[in-house]
């Protein structure tokens, strides 16, 4: 473990949470987009996106837990984004016969974006981002204090 290990771990988490906030913002911006992509000659509504993250080493949580219990403790190397996937929940059907994308029964397929779920995801990502900023500042302050000892 190097002196900058805490910085690197926090930086990876900050980057991942920032991407998560960007994806939530894109979901909210497209919550009413009924023509997001063309599939088989027909327009499809916007499909909600989700960020998938995992530890940098690809180890399961139980691996880190057993390491933390042992006396020879090694810490993880942060987090990484492994992909952005589409949410496969079905589109919402809204009755609006005046809409240009309405089918013959008057129903419009709307995106599967739930604003409440998106706000919860945004709050979670923001809190995680803030916690990592606090951790980064604490690491910085500890290093500054260590440098002061050498004076």
Per-residue pLDDT, 8: 86
Per-residue pLDDT, 70: 67
Residue 39 clears pLDDT 60, i.e. is over it: yes
The token pair that represents 4 in the structure block: 């900058």
Residue 71 clears pLDDT 60, i.e. is over it: no
Strand 107-110 relative to strand 49-55, pairing: unpaired
Local confidence band at 77 (pLDDT 50, 70, 90 cut-offs):
confident
> 15 and 72, same structural domain?
yes
Calculate the average pLDDT of the chain. Answer: 87
Cα–Cα distance measured from residue 3 to residue 10, given in angstroms and rounded to the nearest whole number: 13
> 135 and 64, same structural domain?
yes
Q: What is the mean pLDDT of residues 138-142?
A: 91
Least confident window among 7-11, 23-27, 75-79, 145-149? 75-79
> 146 and 74, same structural domain?
yes
Beta bridge partners of 107: 95
| Tens digits of residue pLDDT in 115-133 | 999 999 999 999 999 999 9
Contact 36, 47 (CB under 8 A): yes
> 61 and 23, same structural domain?
yes
Provide the residue range defining the domain that includes 99: 34-48+89-112
Reported pTM: 0.79
Contact 51, 30 (CB under 8 A): no
| Tens digits of residue pLDDT in 57-70 | 756 667 666 766 66
> 59 and 25, same structural domain?
yes
Contact 107, 78 (CB under 8 A): no
- How many domains does the structure of the chain reveal? 2
């Amino acid at each position: 473990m190097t002196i900058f290990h805490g910085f690197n771990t926090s930086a990876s988490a900050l980057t991942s949470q920032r991407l998560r906030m960007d994806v939530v913002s894109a979901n909210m911006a497209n919550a009413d987009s009924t023509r997001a992509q063309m599939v088989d000659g027909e327009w499809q509504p916007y499909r909600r996106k989700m960020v998938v993250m995992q530890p940098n080493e690809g180890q399961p949580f139980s691996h880190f837990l057993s390491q933390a219990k042992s006396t020879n403790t090694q810490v993880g190397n942060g987090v990484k984004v492994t992909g952005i996937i589409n949410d496969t929940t079905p589109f919402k059907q809204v009755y609006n016969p005046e809409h240009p994308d309405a089918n013959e029964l008057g129903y419009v397929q709307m995106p599967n974006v739930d604003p409440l779920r998106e706000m919860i995801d945004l709050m979670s990502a923001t809190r995680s981002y803030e916690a990592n900023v606090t951790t980064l500042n604490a690491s910085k302050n500890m290093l500054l204090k260590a440098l002061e000892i050498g004076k």
